[in-house]
Amino acid sequence: MTFNIFDGSTVWNRSVMLGYILASSASVVGLALAVHSGVA
């Protein structure tokens, strides 16, 4: 029972971490494109 809960928590944490990384990457790319457009 404890193992199942822990495993579910691990999957949830991985999902949150993955989402955070994707959001950060999207923000950086968006910012880079905005700056590039502004310069160009």
d(CA 26, CA 21): 9
pLDDT at 6: 59
d(CA 35, CA 7): 42
Residue pLDDT, tens place only, 3-33 = 565 566 788 888 889 999 999 999 999 999 9
Tally of residues, the chain: 40
Q: What does the block give as tokens for 27?
A: 């923000």
Q: What does the block give as tokens for 12?
A: 């949830």
Q: Which helix (H) or strand (E) holds 33?
A: helix 2-39
pLDDT at 33: 93
